A = this chain, B = another copy of it.
Amino acid sequence: MSILVVGSVAFDSVETPFGKAEDVLGGSATYFSTSASYFTDVKLVAVVGEDFPEEHITGLKEKGIDLAGLKKVPGKTFRWKGRYDYDLNQAHTLETHLNVFSAFNPEVPESYKDSPFVFLANIDPELQMKVLEQVKRPKLIACDTMNFWIEGKPDALRKLLKGVDLFVINEGEAREFSGQASLVKAAKEILACGPKTLIIKRGEYGALMFNGGSMFSAPAYPLEEIFDPTGAGDSFAGGLMGYLANTGDLSEDNIRKAIIFGSVMASFNVEAFSLNRLKTLTLPEIKARYSEFKRLTHFEDI
């Protein structure tokens, strides 16, 4: 089954203790769709400026990503500049130039409207809502957000969440949204707002899922070198949603497997700047790392 994703396509300039990259391809929708493309068909809604080069369009198309919803408009593409120190869980934003993204008004092409899976990457919750208004009732709606919207548009976000099945946010955001230090309490409050399932991303510590009364803890893969954490969360969501859409199975057992596939994709993504590692993967590599996650977490029953 196919996934509709709406989010950003951007140029990133990133510095980490291990190197730097300038004006490389980035953006939540880019990372998400590249990651999900290994599992299923992806239909992308985003906006870029006239400076967006044909080679990136070609690259995304080569991953089988449907770009009917990618608009090229007058002006410049969204640019983000950030730095990571040794604590790679924490991005320090140096510059944000929204450019054409500031007037982004997502229009879902007719051919996308019956997508059974929808992922609303981190954008203004009012725009996320506009997307939901355009699609026919999908099988699963998932969304991400960030502290900027939790603080700036809490009412729009809460309204949106009533229609969301799966909410994916990071640990600090879960605490901020709920006002609870305990993630178990935070999860209860968030699930009471609408979503059936909450996945809390914890960077190098993995992810926690809350689904009804059930909890699932997935580690991140301990890597010798993490070159660039940019896009890890969206690569995670891409693997997660990609596997769910591929199987069409929303049972908890399958969501758990999907979280591991998400963790697999995130672990590859951070091994290189931009999408350099993510875009060159093979299915055997993905399956091999899934098996490594199995070995990493295995312990016997008593």
Contacts and interface: CB of A to CB of B under 8 A. Distances in A.
Interface of A: 17, 86, 88, 181-185, 202, 205-206, 208, 214-219, 222-226, 253, 256-257, 259-260, 287, 290-291, 294-302
A299 B217 contact: no
The 10 closest A-B pairs by CB, nearest first: A217-B219, A256-B299, A205-B205, A86-B181, A184-B224, A184-B222, A217-B296, A297-B297, A260-B299, A290-B302
A250 to B, nearest CB: 15
A163 B302 CA distance: 31
B182 A225 contact: yes
B17 A181 contact: yes
For chain A, what secondary structure do more than half of its interface residues adopt (helix, strand, loop), or is it mixed? mixed
A216 B205 CA distance: 13
A258 to B, nearest CB: 9
A205 B208 contact: no
Contacts of A182: 223-226
A222 B205 contact: no
Given A181-B17, A184-B223, A257 B300 contact: yes
A216 B256 contact: no
A218 B299 contact: yes
Nearest to A85: B181
A219 B256 CA distance: 15
Contacts of A181: 17, 86, 88
A214 B225 CA distance: 17
Contacts of A223: 182, 184
A219 B219 CA distance: 8
A115 to B, nearest CB: 25
